[in-house]
Amino acid sequence: MRCPFCRHADSRVVDSREVDEGQAIRRRRSCSECGRRFTTSETVVLAVVKRSGVTEQFSRDKVVRGVRRACQGRPVDDDALQQLAQRVEESIRAAGVAEIPSHEVGLAILGPLRELDAVAYLRFASVYRSFSSIEDFEKEISDLRKAIADSIEPDDSGKRADDA
Ligand SMILES: [Zn+2]
């Protein structure tokens, strides 16, 4: 890491400490040429391993782009997509792994997406769970119905008629 003041290539670490509950290390460095001090930060890169074996850095934007395709024509705005991508990243980081297969990123998207929009979820799930038959869809839809029924409180009877 070059000194930001004189561009000298060599520096000495004078202090290093963990920050963000051990998620990052910050180092105070002293330039061996000009003696000025600067701080560097080191974090673990959350890497996604693609099917080809190539790794790339996890990207929320990429999650948003993938999910947006499944949300075409659905009432899902960009804020909701950003929040979803954030939840996906948090759940992956919480698992405490430094590398995750790209397929598992897709699976981590399913939970939050199901809460967001059922139709988009089905579209997305059909790709990531490799649905191969109508039965796969039927099973998923019946699970989805159950989950939705469980999450909706029953209305007071007769209330709906009064609304008109
Ligand atoms: Zn310097």
Confidence (pLDDT) at 23: 77
Cα 15 to middle of ligand 1, angstroms: 17
Dist. CA 65 → ligand 1 center (Å): 42
Cα 40 to ligand 1 centre (Å): 14
> pTM for this structure?
0.66
Say if residue 62 is in the same domain as residue 139.
Answer: yes
How many angstroms does the Cα of residue 23 sit away from the middle of ligand 1?
28
Q: What total of structural domains would you count in the chain?
A: 2
**Residue 70 burial (10 A CB sphere; 0-12, 13-18, 19+):** buried
Are residues 84 and 138 part of one domain?
yes
Name the pLDDT band for 158 (thresholds 50, 70, 90). Answer: very low
- Both 65 and 111 in a single domain? yes
For residue 4, being part of any structural domain is answered with: no
Same domain, 37 and 102: no
How far does residue 25's CA lie from ligand 1's centre (Å)?
22
**By residue range, what is the domain housing residue 76?**
47-148
Cα–Cα distance for residue pair 89/129, rounded to 1 Å: 20
Is residue 164's pLDDT more than 70?
no
Calpha distance 39→37 (Å, rounded):
7
Is the per-residue pLDDT at 77 higher than 50?
yes
